[in-house]
Amino acid sequence: MKLPSEKPATTPDLSGLSAAELLSVVAGLQQQLAAKDAVVQQRDQYIQILEELLRLKNIQKFAASSEKSAHQIHLFDEPELEAEIDLLRDQLPEDVVEADAPKPARKCRQRGFSDTLLRERIELTLSDEEKAGASKVFFTKVKEELQFIPAQLKVLEYWQEKAVFEQEGDERIIAAQRPVHPLGKCIATTSLLSYIITSKYADGLPLYRLEQMLRRLGHEVSRTNMAQWIIRLDEVFKPLINLMREVQNSSDYLQADETRIQVLKEDGKTAQSDKWMWVTRGGPPDHPSVLFDYDPSRAGSVAVRLLDDFTGILQADGYSGYGQVCTANGLTRIGCWDHARRKFVEASKAAQAKGKSKKAVVSKADMALSHISKLYAIERQIKDLSVTERYRIRQELSLPTLAVFKTWLENNVNKVMKGSLTRKAMEYTLNQWPYLIGYCERGDLHISNVLAENAIRPFALGRKAWLFADTPQGARASATCYSLIETAKANDLEPSAYIQYVLERIAQADTLEKLEQLLPWNTELERTSKKVAQLD
């Protein structure tokens, strides 16, 4: 039914046109149709990209976070790869000593409990009537049980002895020396401070939960007091952190990464805006350190400040902010295959969620993942070899594999729709290619930034519990605590034992020599690797 205001469609009268004019009209109409087809095709591609992004967001929100691909095809067999690596090892020159290779770490299986645990003997005895007339009585151990002793709070009362001396009618008093506390006047012992720091930054417990736990143990310690203690300790720990930074920057290989943190009261920024926690991981091989640093900015100037005197190899993702420090310090930059692979994983998952068909459809993202999987398989096979052997095998196997993958990327990148996740992943990989192949230049370099990512993961998990930092001072104090804990773990030290070790001694560390003794690789604490070995 037509509305009154509508006019009937009119058909143009073409009867009076010549053949040439008719051809011209047809050509014009064809151009209009072609233009409309291009617009429709562009709209369809835009819809496909939006649908792909929507599938990815649903997967990220509701699906498992594993990066494994269910339909990923395999372009190789690992047993064949292992045989190829064994053949290369047989061709190793005689001047390379095989003993230089570290022995593979023996996998320990726990049998019983550690000998370091406190033990109590409980004897199950027979009654006098039951053992009357026995020729011999003896005990045999029939079982072991693990008992938990609940934590408890104890008050330490310090009574200071004083002596009074009388000299010429005057009195002189001498008092026993009081123990030095890192915070001066403070009601918390170093053991309680260590417990608070470890619980929040190693175990991810927010301070309000610690407040409740301490209340159940018999005394309430407010979260405000605990936060103030942590902030005050930042100044106490700062000389040790600065020394760790000097040792770290004296090495020739570092990994760097950064992640978001919400700080509510940062001058010039809203509470919802992004601030950043930077992390660098590296140092001499026997002196590893993991250092966190808070900065409200993600600018390249932050990396310049942190890596002020570093002149080696820097491994990071594709973030352009690291370019400034690489140029300023003349650093060699290498890339991270984990970041490149993750983009293909996201593209693969989004593509797989397209239909409900049980038949696996191999996408170009799956093909790329198979190429990348071979690179990682090579790394798994050579991880326990010496630096010399790893370098040689990378030259023999990894570089040809990389060349094949690059050729495949260049041949297929233009066959994928622009703006799609797969196209972005391929373009990212090609743009980062000079950096991504850098790990093959030395045997001690890593294929990815995994060590820095593993170090930053406890921070990301803890952030889900305590959500934000109230002030910049709190964020910097958190960075210091994370630095101490993750550096202790990197040196096979139990974090709480190392934190308490430092707290008990740092107030008296008034010289560089005394401060150096507090570095984790200089302590006399037992390594956790030795404790694990005792369980075997």
Give the tens place of pLDDT for each residue, 16-36. 677 777 777 778 778 888 888
Do 281 and 315 form a contact (C-beta atoms < 8 A)?
no
Residue 107's pLDDT band (cuts 50, 70, 90):
low
Look at residues 532, 527, 459 and name the one whose alpha carbon lies nearest to residue 493.
Answer: 527
Report the percent of the chain where pLDDT is more than 90.
37
User: For position 149, what pLDDT does the model report?
Assistant: 85
Render pLDDT for 407-459 as a digit per residue (tens, 0 to 9).
Answer: 999 999 888 888 888 888 999 999 999 999 999 999 999 998 888 888 877 77
**What's the one-letter identity of residue 83?**
A
pTM for the predicted model, two decimal places: 0.76
Average pLDDT over residues 513-521: 94
pLDDT in the model for residue 506: 94
For residues 454-473, one letter each, b for 16 or more C-beta atoms within 10 angstroms of the residue's C-beta and e for the rest, the string is ebbebbeebbeebeebeebb
Please indicate whether residue 100 or residue 522 has the higher confidence score (pLDDT).
522
d(CA 311, CA 323) in angstroms, rounded, equals 14
Residue 167 pLDDT > 90: no
CA torsion, ordered 335, 336, 337, 340, to nearest 10 deg: -90
pLDDT digits (tens, 9 = 90+) for 347-366: 888 776 544 455 556 788 88
* pLDDT at residue 48 greater than cutoff 90: no
Q: Which of 71-75, 151-155, 187-191 has the lowest average pLDDT? A: 71-75
The C-alpha atoms of residue 156 and residue 219 are separated, in whole angstroms, by 14
Q: Report pLDDT digits (tens) over 151-165.
A: 889 999 999 999 998
Task: Indicate the domain borders of the chain.
Answer: 70-86+348-432
Query: How large is the average pLDDT for residues 219-238?
Result: 93
Among the residue ranges 105-109, 182-186, 301-305, the one predicted with the least confidence is 105-109
Residue 73 pLDDT greater than 70, yes or no: no
DSSP code of 215?
Answer: H
d(CA 121, CA 45): 74
Residue 402: per-residue pLDDT: 93
Percentage with pLDDT > 70 across the chain? 80
CB 193 within 8 A of CB 506: no
Q: How much is the pLDDT for 171? A: 86
Per-residue pLDDT tens for 487-506?
999 999 999 999 999 999 99
pLDDT tens digits, one per residue of 270-284: 877 888 889 999 998
What pLDDT does residue 273 have? Answer: 81
195: its two tokens: 């417990």
At 133 the pLDDT is 87
Contact 78, 86 (CB under 8 A): no
pLDDT value at residue 535: 42
Q: Does the pLDDT at position 70 exceed 60?
A: no
Is pLDDT of 322 > 70?
Answer: yes
**Mean pLDDT of the 382-404 span:** 91
461-494 pLDDT per residue, tens: 766 666 677 888 988 999 999 999 999 999 999 9
- Extract long-range pairs of 45-52: CB within 8 Å, 24+ residues apart: 45/417, 45/418, 45/419, 46/419, 48/417, 48/420, 49/417, 49/419, 49/420, 52/350, 52/351, 52/420, 52/421
Question: What H or E segment, with its residue span, contains residue 224?
Answer: helix 223-249
Residue 67: pLDDT band (50, 70, 90) is low
The DSSP call for residue 177 is P
Query: Is residue 287 over pLDDT 90?
Result: yes
The CA-based dihedral angle spanning residues 495, 501, 505, 509, taken in that order and rounded to the nearest 10 degrees = -50
Q: What is the pLDDT of residue 96?
A: 44
Tell me what pLDDT residue 449 has: 86
Between the alpha carbon of residue 287 and those of residues 237, 248, 364, 451, 503, the distances in Å are 18, 8, 43, 15, 21
The mean pLDDT value of the chain amounts to: 82
For residues 108 and 535, the answer to whether their CB atoms sit within 8 Å is: yes
Q: What is the structure's pLDDT at 531?
A: 53
